[in-house]
Structure 1
Amino acid sequence: MKTAVLMATYNGEKFIEKQLDSIKDQVLSPDYVIIRDDGSTDGTVPFVKKYIKNNNLAGWSIIKNQKNLGWRLNFRQLLIDSQNTDADVIFLSDQDDVWKLEKNKRQLDLLLKHQEIEVLSADTEFNVSTSEATVPTNYVFQDNDKELSKFPMEHFYKAGFRQGMTLAIRKEFIDRFLKYWKEEYNLLPHDALIECLAGLLEVGYNLNECVAVHNRHESNASGKAVVTLKSPKKLHIQELYAKYQGYYEIVYKVLQDNHSSLALEEQKYYEFTKRRVENAQSGNAWKVIVQQFKDWRNYEHRSSQIRDVLFSFKK
């Protein structure tokens, strides 16, 4: 089976070399390494080009985006790039972590052994280098004493179960959802979509074994809230649409394609989220308040209801 590593970069010159080394030195060498830079203003791109040349790395390439996409759409574009290769398994990489050298082989061996697995995450160590860094709270698998744990089936949007940089994904799984991921859904994290969808399709598992060191520092792109109560109303509406509506639309359509009995359940949340967006856009606080009573069962948290009401009174 052929493999490809996808790496997103942005101003990572001072972090990236260790991760490049850990990819280059993998026990299972990748057939392709596709690096997509999101408009770095430091020396990331020339550094990577020089690294590829000096190490004579066949199958490695770096592409610089013509405009800054943001890390979410940058990973979406990388997933599109992967479809132009003949790789069977796709590994996702951040620019500032360090993989254990047997990581990719360990995960590929499990995918070969367990044909039912389409998405395989794994555990990581956290290395917190600055006090400003945010540290994710990972999902706790109740059977984590076993080699593998199955992803839960979560009907509501979740932030995922493990870091995206641990994921090994069969290419055909990417085919399932990528056609529905519109560019306008630019606040949707790839790892949350992949992991939650894999859980609902019952094809996602976690390897309960540490495969990498995940570095957390103040420059991490992920882990930061898009919207707070101090944010402008426009950003609240944008997140409702570009993250949540996008998520539920994609999940619903993939489940429908798969003839899953869960499709109707996810359609309900998709239609509910569309109503949230429409009411928020209307500028009519009364419509938002009425929805709290009509749709209260569809809100996962009371905090989401409070958020909708508070933003409805903003100009």
Structure 2
Amino acid sequence: MVKTAVLMATYNGEIFISEQLDSIRQQTLKPDYVLLRDDCSTDETVNVVNNYIAKHELEGWKIVKNDKNLGWRLNFRQLLIDVLAYEVDYVFFSDQDDIWYLDKNERQFAIMSDKPQIEVLSADVDIKTMSTEASVPHFLTFSSSDRISQYPKVYDYQTFRPGWTIAMKRDFAQAIADNWTFGANISHDNLIETTASIIGNGYNLNESVGVHIRYGGNASGNSKFVLNWKSPKTQHITGLKTFVDFYETMQKVVNKYQNDVALNQRLAFEKERLEASKLSLIHNSAFVIKNWRLYNSNSGRMRDLLFAFKK
């Protein structure tokens, strides 16, 4: 029998987590396992979850509290490692503060079981803003005439849809976990969706599967790379190191399926870019000019030139 698991990373979610737990518990396709990992919450999140599990007598549900704070990116990495110890065929990611429609997992599972070429399936969402400070993400528009759309091949640090809409087959989850080293502080949704776009096994369900709730302080996979002229150079270099980790991890996974020349070239560029960022103003500026065409945007060029002037 096919088995499914839901993975949720938690942190200080006592106020809103119960509503999302309800939407998971009431799924028309009941998950066999729901694994939660708490990243050292300072509120009552762990107690709220444990009480919820006890109240509803939920077998296969479990929350573990980290010994130390990992950050949400590495917390999701650890959840991937956790779930592979179980006999599961499909993995669904969940955030703690969004709401799933009750047939979400059933719809995604039906498509993936019917189409073996799909190993990663994200989906559309409805968006609800909870404050005037809340940002509204902009997603790639897929064809409204098709129920599912294949990801276009991309090589940037980006996502097509929120990570909590991702459903993934075990073999692909295994490939990601096996090649994602602990020090690589990258976002699971960026890694999974971009890798799947290159391999060709990633698709989007062009139907809403839940409500994406936006607060003033939602975590974003790309927020750590939003810099300005006041940001320290160390932050710039850390961001470039993350890009290298991202492309190295992708390359290892993609190589299990195929050799991608463009990905290899992008990784080589990002490695050289990182090393150039540590050099003098003259050497760093020379690198940018020499490799001008290899940048994917003017913002990347301007960023490197700006921080070349900093010590």
TM-score by length of 2: 0.96
RMSD over aligned CA atoms reads: 1.2
1:257 and 2:253 are equivalent in the alignment = no
Q: Given the superposition, is the C-alpha separation of residues 223 and 79 from structure 1 closer, same or farther in structure 2, using an over 3 Å criterion? A: closer
The match for 2:235 is 235
Q: Which amino acid aligns with 1:250?
A: T
By how many angstroms is 1:171 displaced? 1.0
The match for 1:308 is 304
Runs of 4+ displaced beyond 6 Å: none
Q: Given the superposition, is the C-alpha separation of residues 224 and 250 from structure 1 closer, same or farther in structure 2, using an over 3 Å criterion? A: closer
By how many angstroms is 1:172 displaced? 0.5
Contact 2:10 2:37 in 1 (8 A): yes
CA distance in 1, matches of 2:183, 2:15: 31
The match for 1:139 is 140
The match for 1:181 is 180
CA distance in 2, matches of 1:281, 1:183: 24
Q: In the TM superposition, what are the counterparts of 1:209-220 in structure 2 within 5 Å?
A: 209-220=207-218
Contact 2:126 2:208 in 1 (8 A): yes
1:273 and 2:270 are equivalent in the alignment = yes
1:108 and 2:106 are equivalent in the alignment = no
1:286 and 2:282 are equivalent in the alignment = yes
Q: Which amino acid aligns with 1:166?
A: T
CA distance in 1, matches of 2:195, 2:222: 22
The match for 2:191 is 193
1:92 and 2:88 are equivalent in the alignment = no
Q: In the TM superposition, what are the counterparts of 1:7-46 in structure 2 within 5 Å?
A: 7-46=8-47
TM-score by length of 1: 0.95
Q: Which amino acid aligns with 1:195?
A: E
By how many angstroms is 1:163 displaced? 0.6
For structure 2, list consecutive stretches of 5 or more residues without a partner in the other structure: none
Q: Which amino acid aligns with 2:36?
A: I
- Per-residue CA deviation, residues 84-128 of structure 1 (Å, 9 max, x unaligned), is 111100000000011000111111111111111000011100010
1:203 and 2:201 are equivalent in the alignment = yes
Q: Which amino acid aligns with 1:252?
A: Q
Q: Given the superposition, is the C-alpha separation of residues 239 and 173 from structure 1 closer, same or farther in structure 2, using an over 3 Å criterion? A: same
- Per-residue CA deviation, residues 135-167 of structure 1 (Å, 9 max, x unaligned), is 2101111x222111110001x214210011111
State the number of aligned residues.
308
Q: Which amino acid aligns with 1:211?
A: V
Provide the secondary structure at the position in 2 that maps to 1:149: strand
The match for 1:151 is 151
By how many angstroms is 1:293 displaced? 2.2
Contact 1:121 1:206 in 2 (8 A): yes
Q: Which amino acid aligns with 1:205?
A: Y
Identity of counterpart residues, as a percentage? 45
Q: Which amino acid aligns with 1:191?
A: D
The match for 2:164 is 165
Contact 1:92 1:166 in 2 (8 A): yes
Provide the secondary structure at the position in 2 that maps to 1:179: helix
Provide the secondary structure at the position in 2 that maps to 1:95: coil
Q: Which amino acid aligns with 1:53?
A: A
By how many angstroms is 1:223 displaced? 6.1
Provide the secondary structure at the position in 1 that maps to 2:278: helix
By how many angstroms is 1:181 displaced? 1.4
1:66 and 2:67 are equivalent in the alignment = yes
Q: Given the superposition, is the C-alpha separation of residues 210 and 165 from structure 1 closer, same or farther in structure 2, using an over 3 Å criterion? A: same
CA distance in 1, matches of 2:200, 2:21: 33
1:121 and 2:122 are equivalent in the alignment = yes
CA distance in 2, matches of 1:223, 1:132: 18
Contact 2:130 2:214 in 1 (8 A): yes
The match for 1:225 is 223
CA distance in 1, matches of 2:294, 2:115: 35
Provide the secondary structure at the position in 2 that maps to 1:21: helix
CA distance in 1, matches of 2:184, 2:156: 14
